[in-house]
Structure 1
Amino acid sequence: MIIPADSLTAEAAYKLLIGSIVPRPIAWVSSVSPQGTANIAPISFFTAVGRKPPMISLTLQPRSDGRVLKDTFNNIRDTGEFVVNMATIPNSDAVHRSAYEFAPHEDEFELLGLEKARCEIVSVPRIESAPIAYECLVDRIIPVGETDNVVWGRIVQFHIRDDLYLERGRIDTAALAPVGRLAAEYTFVENVFTTPLPAETLAALEGIRMRRLDELDSGFSPIDTALWSASGSTRPAGQ
């Protein structure tokens, strides 16, 4: 299949991107409005972009109507600060529910039942149960195309749970239980390897499908349901 990019709508291009750039790490972003209302949202267009100073990037789309900017972006733009919290399997349902499009005046820590933890430099709270968090200040905001915005954030403080911080500044990645994004679903990272793998291991893995943890049909995708939108947001069942 060969698909010319200029023939695609934004939604069609988004489906191809999220289905082929996998697994994507999830920035579970907490922010605060100028009025003091706390917001949480998962952003899976997320990566590291620099080392000294340490920098990360987030790409934010509008809300599901395709026009209104998300509260997360408005808060980051208006206050110049935010926190990236790590998404892990114990928090996976809260991560998913934080993608709902709540009203701007609602405190999403309270709605999601998450504990706030104080940051050292920024005024935004981090998520207490997240094992790793970055306090970030906005470095630049770059408009992309017709609707999207890229935020570069400079990390000014790392919060790492004590048991995860090893000698020589290394993180115990095998103990993280990280969750990543696969199209509109999630993956639990539960294996690790170095190369080369034994030939018999590669042969046994060839052509296999991913194992589902939720007991749904192997071909299921939320993209085929009314609960999904091409904004990165989702909708509670029944809406």
Structure 2
Amino acid sequence: MALLTDGESPMEIEDWEETAKQMNDKEIQLSIVGVDFDDDEMPFREEDKSDVKRENESFYRQFAGALNESVVGTAAFALQECSKPDIKMMKSALMKTTLKVGDVEARPEQAIEIHVRTSKCTAISRPPSMKKFAKRQIQPDAMDVDEEKTFTLLDRKTQYYVEKDKGDGDSDFDEDKAADEEDEEPVEKENLVRGYKYGASFVPVDEDDQFERLEPVKGIEICGTLF
């Protein structure tokens, strides 16, 4: 169980010992994350803390001390830990490949080709992704607003615009000027084409005229050794 709080609201703390006893009996783990809570390990200490927050923070530490498995920390430390990748042991599946020593095509008599199986020794580990939320704009005449729907998940949307042709014959493209121009025309994604910029000109490239891709050869090659 995780509890996120700023500690600024008054609380009723009667019979908290019985609550802690029941949580211990059911083996419930509790993590209390406080906004701007004091933390000597970071280190961080809020000097102008309100009396209500000071009392609540002291109670949270007392309550966590009565539990068998609990921790109290500041939100800044929790965000710092969330930004770190989750390191764990993983079992990689064996993959068939070819190990080549020397040039098997140009000098086959001086080369060796062996069929081997390989697996990953390490893998990329990234920190867990966090979603972005925004607060809804509640209408003044709205009734019975659900508090759980106060925040909503943001969706990313991309729109394309092109500066309208003013007929002045100037073909130079100014990115700063285009960004501030209000007279823009929307363009659908299906009408976009790839291109390259050479100086002040743009050269469109058809999908059939793309550069040839390098054909890779599957396997591991040892080109040479140093002694």
**Structure index of larger Rg:** 2
More RCO (CA 8 Å, sep 6+) = 1
TM-score (norm 1): 0.21
Question: Which one has the bigger strand percentage?
Answer: 1
TM-score (norm 2): 0.21
